[in-house]
Structure 1
Amino acid sequence: GLAEAHRHGIVHRDLKPGNVMLVKSRVKLLDFGVAKAWQSETVAASDATTPATRPGMIIGTLAYMSPEQLAGRQVDARSDVFSFGVMLFEMVAGYRPFTGGSAAQLGAALLRDEPAPLPTAAQVPDALREVIRRCLQLDPGGRYASAAALADALAAVPEEGTGALDPEATAPTRPMAAPPPHPHSMLATTGRRSVLVLEFANLTRDPAAEWLSTGIAETVIVDLKKLSGLAVAGRERVAAELGGRSSGTLTPSEQLHLAASVGADLVVTGAFQKLGEALRITVSAVEPATGEVAASAKLDGTMSDLFAMQDRLVWALLADLGVTVENTRRERREAVAEPRLEAFELYARGRQLHNQLGRAGLEQARACYEQAIAADPGYALAYSGLGGVAMMRYVATTNRSDLDVGIVYLERAAALDPELADPHLWLTYGLARLGRFADAHAAGERATALEPENPLAHYFAGVAWWLEGMQAPAPGCWRRAEAMLITATERAPRFQAAWQVLGDVRFRLGDYPGARAALERAVEIERSGRHTQVRFVGALAVLAAVLLRAEGSDAALAACTESLAALAGVDHLYAQASLALTRVIEGEAHLRAGRFDAALGSYRLARDLCRSSPRSLGMGWMAVRAAIGSPSAFHLLGMRREEQEAAATAGRAERSGELDFSAIWAGGTAVVNHDWAIYHAVRGRRSEAAEALHRAVAAGWCDAGWLERDDLLEAVRSAPEFPAAVAAAAAGAAHG
């Protein structure tokens, strides 16, 4: 049995009850499929004929793994001793020594925690307790050296009173079933299984074939989305979690953490070997909560058979998982022509670069996508990738031509393959940025219908309503934005951008507690660096704006100080605009506290930031807000000439063609008109202030309560037009 294997230098690596069979009077040890000779220094990668034997993959069954096996370290006979100890504990106690509500929690318990105590009331001899305790030492050095040594220790345990216990009498109330799904997984929230597909390992390590790692995984992702009712974790979310790493380099414990982070209850891993034109692909689907293999396949063929092999691989997975494919789904999938192999390779190389989310990588990805389209003008995925790159370029450059070009590519992709969600997802964003809101909402509905589990689909649908609320407000915009953004945060609880925009929506509605809760969540994510989807910054700047109204200048200034520290030296597309907003809020806080010289200093720093990055997204609004705040401070200091010059500068800033006025949090026409109302009220110009307030309300200002409480608006409250402005703002908030 096991002792014999150890004598020959073999470690089993998958000891569990399912691999132990009672045959008449003997116990038989089964399944040495992942066994390994630990005494040899290395095992050639080409020896691994299944994905279970390549480095970095989940090998064995999680609940029975040793800590060193889970961490991907070298294992020897003592690893099997640990696994045997888990089984022995379970036989005696009726429950396992390590548990967790998710795969990540179970993995963390195995790596860090002491085992649960054995039942104190049970008749377990002290000698047997000692054997179990020694088997389950976290440090291999504390365990028996081999199964033979363990057998000697067990032989010394008195036989009397060692019968198996009644689980009903000794087990705690928790069941022995597999741990429940992750609370944010699709299985927990919608009853649908959620799948994480990792890049396939290149077992031959041939750099020329590395593109297949992403190419095969991408095919599996796309086809699982199209053919099944499974929810597949989005590539953007996975790429953000990985931070530029390849998923093929993850250790087993990192795979478990990644699965838990994206809420997956099934992990698809695989490998390929390419030798000349010969190709072997292996794949398995593992349930991370238990380590059980739910599906597996191995295919042999040639590169000319690649697409047929990928089809067979997907169908084999679906069959093993018991997924029934509707005829309509099958027909729609078969209606899409396979690309030329050359185009597929170029697309896969582009997708690898795209997933890194770096500026240089995006430009290289764009070149690959363009070459893929040249090789196959009907390749939908390449058009979709090219359109996505164009949208991300727009965020960096605010060049409208990127939006125009990107929309052309995305519409072409959607026409070529109507079942792809990615083109509709990015179309939602691009069309909304162009002000084509009806088209944007239609694209958003299509994206969320195709991939209801995709947080980016709901996020962009919410952003489209948010943008409309700032640019062309209509009843229901804010509430629809709020609903879609809440769904995005439910799908991806560590999606900072969704929390941050949600906070801005609630702030505009005058819901300070709701805004603060959302923004504090965004701040926590930004501080931790543990984000999903894309990395975001600036949450503290928006929180400072909320605190200024909710708690006053001191709380706002404290948040501004934190924001400046958090953004110092940060290289991010939104860093400059967030710094400028921080200085604007800092200036307003000083103004309201009566520190007018300090206010002027903050506004000047904000304007300097705007001059250094005039084309950063939304920077125009920050420049105008800083320019409008300055004349109020000059007026209160009695500096009339400087006030007039500053007011003229603010007017010119509003008309500047050099600044970008894309919609952004704490910006927009409504906010700027409210700032003008404050300036006119400070000057005692009651009618001008009332007129500015009406313009703000018409542009979507909904915070009626602030209009009634703001000390700086005291002079305008006696204007006959003021009650109507307040009533209109309240109506806007009520209708959302």
Structure 2
Amino acid sequence: MKKIIYTIILVVVISVSPGVAAQQNASVIAIVPFTNLTKDTDLEWLSEGIVETLTTKLAHVKTIQIVERQRLSAALDEISLGQMGVVDEAKAAKAGQMVGAETVVTGAFQQVGETFRLTARFVKVATGVISNTAMATGSYADLFSLEDKIADDILSSLGVAVSAAEQEKMYRKPTTSVDAYKNYSQGLNYVKQERYDDAKLMFDRALKEDPDFGQARNDLAFVQWARPSANSSLYLKRIDRPFDETYETMLSAVQRAGMEVRNAQKETGTMEVHESSWSLIKSPQDIQIEIKRLETISGVRIFSQPSKVPCLGIRQAYDWGQSKKTIEKLIAAFETELYRH
């Protein structure tokens, strides 16, 4: 009997260890918006568009962990990096420290005549020193190939080996139309600004250019879901995670916030969360959560209403300030769970 027990334990250790080691050895990188060195404002969309493409490509590599764009944006806003033009190494390292990255990728793009150039610098967060650089030159029509080159150079700089399956996914093009890609990137920028009508227009244009552009169709579905409830939600976000992961993360966030899930319906993506604190001047809060299931992303909407007062069976006067504080507490817990490594 003892031999059997020891054998089982040994098998478990051997099975689990490689996965744990792979997770611990993952390279954590952050990619900041690329700087437009060209005076042509019509190219400004590439600042975010290039980041979106590189993030999507590198996310297919299991030994790399990409810092969430929403989390990185918050860090950049805090140190006002977005207003500085070219990002210096010290600021890049500071942003990297804030989000737990080991390497920060900064870059720029420039068009001179028919020549289009992408450049990138890789800053080691621990030292604030540029560890390597990359450059890809071609024409504007070669944009997708130039982005592939920069992605390859990032992997090479990190010393990351890529499997054939990962490589196939990396080089898979979501669209072959630069114009569709431009409209899609502009739509994503409008989503960040919560300008959903403008975002819908851009995604519609992207799909007109390329009806098979799956990412544009996915984000159009998010916008169509978000628009009707934009004014009644205290939290409405596009999440770069699939539905199942987002739903489980929200459940963990509720527990972290010290709240209670009273009614969760995963098939519909809804849950009701209760904060039980109550007094004559503070009503308990019932928080309503909707999580939208999309193909590769998800949407999260949070809103609230006052609970019935115990024993009396009536609702207190709605306390907007208290409701907002309760939801902010849940949001903080959700984003902590969402972005923790």
Q: Tell me if TM exceeds 0.5.
A: yes
Give CA-to-partner distance per residue, 1:513-548, whole Å, 9 cap, x none.
xxxxxxxxxxxxxxxxxxxxxxxxxxxx94xx44x5
The residue number in structure 1 matching 2:58 is 224
Give CA-to-partner distance per residue, 1:211-249, whole Å, 9 cap, x none.
111111211111111245210011122233344967473
Distance in 2 of aligned mates of 1:187 and 1:461: 24
1:303 to 127, 140, 143: 140
Give CA-to-partner distance per residue, 1:547-591, whole Å, 9 cap, x none.
x5xxxx6xxx8xx7xxxxxxxxxxxxxxxxxxxxxx4249xxxxx
1:288 to 125, 128, 139: 125
Distance in 1 of aligned mates of 2:23 and 2:169: 28
Q: Does 1:461 align with 2:248?
A: yes
The residue number in structure 1 matching 2:186 is 349
Residues 460/508 of structure 1: CA separation in 2 closer, same or farther (3 Å cut)? closer
3-state DSSP class of the match of 2:107?
Answer: strand
Larger helix fraction of residues: 1
**How far 1:376 moved relative to its partner?**
0.8
Give CA-to-partner distance per residue, 1:341-396, whole Å, 9 cap, x none.
100111122222333xx33x333223212211111111122223323434544653
The one-letter code matched in structure 2 to 1:234 is E
The residue number in structure 2 matching 1:384 is 218
3-state DSSP class of the match of 1:205?
Answer: coil
**How far 1:336 moved relative to its partner?**
4.2
Q: Does 1:340 align with 2:340?
A: no
Distance in 1 of aligned mates of 2:196 and 2:163: 37
Give CA-to-partner distance per residue, 1:304-337, whole Å, 9 cap, x none.
1111111112112212321111011122334445
The residue number in structure 2 matching 1:15 is none
Q: Does 1:503 align with 2:257?
A: yes
Distance in 2 of aligned mates of 1:216 and 1:231: 18
The one-letter code matched in structure 2 to 1:196 is A
Distance in 2 of aligned mates of 1:320 and 1:371: 37
Number of residue-to-residue matches in the alignment = 267
The residue number in structure 1 matching 2:108 is 271
**How far 1:501 moved relative to its partner?**
5.7
Q: Is the 8 A contact 1:216 1:310 kept in 2?
A: yes
Q: Is the 8 A contact 1:284 1:297 kept in 2?
A: yes
3-state DSSP class of the match of 1:584?
Answer: coil
The residue number in structure 2 matching 1:370 is 204
Residues 189/230 of structure 1: CA separation in 2 closer, same or farther (3 Å cut)? closer
Distance in 2 of aligned mates of 1:242 and 1:289: 18
Distance in 2 of aligned mates of 1:246 and 1:391: 32
Distance in 2 of aligned mates of 1:254 and 1:188: 30
Superposed, 1:329-728 pairs within 5 Å as 329-336=166-173, 338-355=175-192, 358-359=193-194, 361-393=195-227, 396=230, 422=240, 425=242, 428=243, 444=244, 457=245, 459-463=246-250, 481=251, 485=252, 498=253, 502-505=256-259, 507=260, 542=275, 545-546=276-277, 583-585=282-284, 618-619=303-304, 621-622=305-306, 625=308, 628=309, 632=312
The residue number in structure 2 matching 1:167 is none
Residues 363/206 of structure 1: CA separation in 2 closer, same or farther (3 Å cut)? same
The residue number in structure 1 matching 2:28 is 194
Distance in 1 of aligned mates of 2:161 and 2:147: 18
Give CA-to-partner distance per residue, 1:121-156, whole Å, 9 cap, x none.
xxxxxxxxxxxxxxxxxxxxxxxxxxxxxxxxxxxx
The residue number in structure 2 matching 1:453 is none
Q: Is the 8 A contact 1:209 1:274 kept in 2?
A: no
3-state DSSP class of the match of 1:273?
Answer: strand
| Structure with the greater alpha carbon radius of gyration | 1
Q: Which runs of 5+ in 2 are unaligned?
A: 1-19, 263-273, 286-300, 316-325, 328-341
Q: Is the 8 A contact 1:349 1:368 kept in 2?
A: yes
The residue number in structure 2 matching 1:234 is 68
Distance in 2 of aligned mates of 1:222 and 1:341: 16
Distance in 2 of aligned mates of 1:203 and 1:234: 25
**How far 1:205 moved relative to its partner?**
3.3
Give CA-to-partner distance per residue, 1:385-425, whole Å, 9 cap, x none.
323434544653579xxx9xxxxxx9xxxxxxxxxx94x62
Larger strand fraction of residues: 2
Distance in 2 of aligned mates of 1:246 and 1:378: 36
Distance in 1 of aligned mates of 2:37 and 2:93: 22
Give CA-to-partner distance per residue, 1:262-304, whole Å, 9 cap, x none.
1111000111111243211111211121123333211221111
The residue number in structure 2 matching 1:83 is none
Distance in 2 of aligned mates of 1:231 and 1:191: 10
Q: Is the 8 A contact 1:295 1:321 kept in 2?
A: no
The residue number in structure 1 matching 2:332 is none
Give CA-to-partner distance per residue, 1:622-650, whole Å, 9 cap, x none.
2x51xx55x83xxxxxxxxxxxxxx6x77
The one-letter code matched in structure 2 to 1:341 is V
RMSD of equivalent CA atoms: 3.8
Residues 281/336 of structure 1: CA separation in 2 closer, same or farther (3 Å cut)? closer
Distance in 2 of aligned mates of 1:213 and 1:378: 24
The residue number in structure 2 matching 1:260 is 97
Greater relative CO (CA pairs within 8 A, separation 6+): 2
Residues 248/390 of structure 1: CA separation in 2 closer, same or farther (3 Å cut)? farther
Superposed, 1:42-81 pairs within 5 Å as none
Give CA-to-partner distance per residue, 1:711-733, whole Å, 9 cap, x none.
xxxxxxxxxxxxxxxxxxxxxxx
> TM-score of the superposition, structure 1-length normalised?
0.32
The one-letter code matched in structure 1 to 2:92 is Q
Residues 251/311 of structure 1: CA separation in 2 closer, same or farther (3 Å cut)? closer
Distance in 2 of aligned mates of 1:349 and 1:246: 20
Give CA-to-partner distance per residue, 1:479-498, whole Å, 9 cap, x none.
xx3xxx2xxxxxxxxxxxx3
